[in-house]
Chain A
Amino acid sequence: MVEAQGIHKYFGHNHVLRGVDLMVRKGEVVVIIGPSGSGKSTFLRTINHLDVPDKGWVRIDGELLGLRAGATDMVAVSDATLSEQRRQVGMVFQQFNLFSHMTALDNVMAGPVQVLRTARRTAANDARRLLALVGLEDKAASYPEQLSGGQQQRVAIARALAMHPKVMLFDEPTSSLDPEMVHEVLQVMLDLSQQGMTMIIVTHEIQFAAKAANRILFMEDGNIVEQGTPTELVNNPRNERTQKFLRLVTGGF
């Protein structure tokens, strides 16, 4: 379903990703953990080319994203093609990034109406259904500023789902939420995973990862250092750095 191969990324002289490989099967939930600065968010952003990889490639369902074979080398596709390919990949951001001049309903409808050219009435019905799915059917007319962080993030999830993506990327979706709102967002994500959505999640919520993930990856210094099932990785990490990181985030000493 999602295949990333040899992803390298530089920010100036900073070598942020050093050849990351990842294969995600349909319906699989993969959680990426690791210390800040390990490149996990950047890696997630290279999957839909929000950050274009300097080397390596990404395939969604076998189709190369953002690149095509040129005469001698791989070249970037046009903006229109890249935009079309991105429809298959939903993304949820740490800062929600809801369109601040639109109501919750319009936020969810924006993609279908503007990108897929869905009729407004159909898009509105679909958007209402999605808002109900994330438990916010009564907030359709609210503007982002009138919603709590947790509500905004749930609208953002509905907005991504409205494009019927094949895979959902979550970039630290609960990191800027007040503690009491973390649960409502994680619950929506857990429901999604149980409905068979393919998901790649960058998070610090180890308990959630243990519960929802099929596989956990530990990233450090731009590499995947260790990966395994939650039981293997959380209860029985082999790598010394993974052990140290887990001790720190679970509050152990």
Chain B
Amino acid sequence: MWDWQTFFHYLHSLYLIEGAGLSLALSIGAMVIGLACGLLAALMRMSRHRLIRQPASFYVWLFRGTPVLVQLIIIYTGLPQLGIKLGVISSALLGLGVNEGAYLAEIIRAGVSAVPRGQFEAARAIGMTRTTTMRVVVMPQALRIIIPPLGNAFNGLMKTSSLASVISMEELLRRTELLIQVQFKVLEIFIVAALYYLLMTTLWGFVQHRLEAHFSRSVTASSRSRDKAQQIDLAGAVLTHDAT
């Protein structure tokens, strides 16, 4: 039977709220690591030199080609065998972050390639170096294209962060499971946890909406539809990601 009292009791359980906070912090940390790895890998993959491109392609191939759960377990339980001992939180941050980076690299690369070639040429023609061109002309325009799929990626990451429970990180899901082991109210407590995840992704949805509005403020109606088409392509790439 469904027990309303238990449900409402755990709905404002500090233990679970802390767990949710930890999930959120883990997601933010992993996203930051992911952005750093993703940006680096994306820039490397666009290099003219094969020796710079290949390691980045290998990274993307490896981390997109294996389950993030397996990666987490290898980092936490496997690496100590080689003398590399990482704590729970470091392992979770590293595993989720580096994995996310492989997906973000593809999003960033797609965003950069969507900037018309002429923008690059015009910047070069007034004497900008490659680096300045990227920083001043290409990246700001790519950002406008990248922001929506990046937001979706973060939404996905908040949910994927629950996998850290497997390596015993006491985030929201792990705490939920621990509670259930003593309380046996499986459905009520899991529904509470689900609601917390829903709350986090919903709030993020509002933030994302704001960000998108901010970064497309200089765009008028005619080009907005053009950007939309590109965003849909990228959103597609991210959806595949979420499904994994």
Are A and B physically bound partners? yes
Q: B125 near A: Cβ within 8 Å?
A: yes
Residues of A within 8 A of B144 (CB): 101
Measured CB to CB, the closest approach of chain A to B44, in angstroms, equals: 17
Contact yes or no, A163 B126, CB < 8 A: yes
Contact yes or no, A97 B118, CB < 8 A: yes
Contact yes or no, B127 A87, CB < 8 A: yes
Chain B positions 119 through 142: 1 when the CB is less than 8 Å from some CB of chain A, otherwise 0: 101111111111010001100110
Specify the chain A residue showing the minimal Cβ separation from B221.
Answer: A145
Measured CB to CB, the closest approach of chain B to A174, in angstroms, equals: 16
Residues of B within 8 A of A95 (CB): 118
Specify the chain A residue showing the minimal Cβ separation from B143.
Answer: A101
Measured CB to CB, the closest approach of chain A to B110, in angstroms, equals: 18
Chain A positions 108 through 121: 1 when the CB is less than 8 Å from some CB of chain B, otherwise 0: 00110011000000
What is the interface of chain A, defined by CB distance below 8 A to chain B? 48, 50, 79-80, 83-84, 86-87, 89-91, 93, 95, 97-101, 110-111, 114-115, 143, 145-146, 156, 159-160, 162-163
21 contacts between A and B (CB under 8 A): A50-B121, A83-B127, A84-B127, A86-B125, A87-B127, A90-B125, A93-B122, A97-B118, A99-B123, A99-B137, A99-B141, A101-B144, A110-B123, A110-B126, A110-B137, A111-B127, A111-B128, A143-B218, A145-B222, A146-B220, A156-B122
Measured CB to CB, the closest approach of chain A to B78, in angstroms, equals: 42
Residues of B within 8 A of A80 (CB): 129
Specify the chain A residue showing the minimal Cβ separation from B115.
Answer: A100
Contact yes or no, A145 B223, CB < 8 A: yes
Measured CB to CB, the closest approach of chain B to A140, in angstroms, equals: 14
Chain B: interface secondary structure?
Answer: helix
The 9 closest A-B pairs by CB, nearest first: A97-B122, A97-B118, A87-B127, A111-B126, A91-B125, A83-B129, A115-B127, A86-B127, A145-B220
Q: How many residues of B contact A (CB 8 A)?
A: 24
Specify the chain A residue showing the minimal Cβ separation from B130.
Answer: A79
Residues of A within 8 A of B122 (CB): 91, 93, 97-99, 156, 159
Contact of A93 among B118, B132, B140 (CB under 8 A): B118
Q: B178 near A: Cβ within 8 Å?
A: no
Residues of A within 8 A of B219 (CB): 145
Residues of B within 8 A of A159 (CB): 122, 126
Residues of A within 8 A of B125 (CB): 48, 50, 86, 89-91, 93, 160
Compute how far the CA of A50 lies from the CA of B120 in the bound complex, rounded to whole angstroms. Answer: 10
Measured CB to CB, the closest approach of chain B to A50, in angstroms, equals: 6
Measured CB to CB, the closest approach of chain B to A26, in angstroms, equals: 20
Residues of B within 8 A of A79 (CB): 129-130
Residues of B within 8 A of A100 (CB): 119, 141, 223
Contact yes or no, A115 B119, CB < 8 A: no
Compute how far the CA of A163 lies from the CA of B124 in the bound complex, rounded to whole angstroms. Answer: 12
Measured CB to CB, the closest approach of chain B to A4, in angstroms, equals: 17
Q: A83-B128, A86-B126 are in contact. Are A101 and B118 (CB under 8 A)?
A: no
Contact yes or no, B118 A114, CB < 8 A: no
Compute how far the CA of A100 lies from the CA of B222 in the bound complex, rounded to whole angstroms. Answer: 13
Compute how far the CA of A156 lies from the CA of B119 in the bound complex, rounded to whole angstroms. Answer: 12
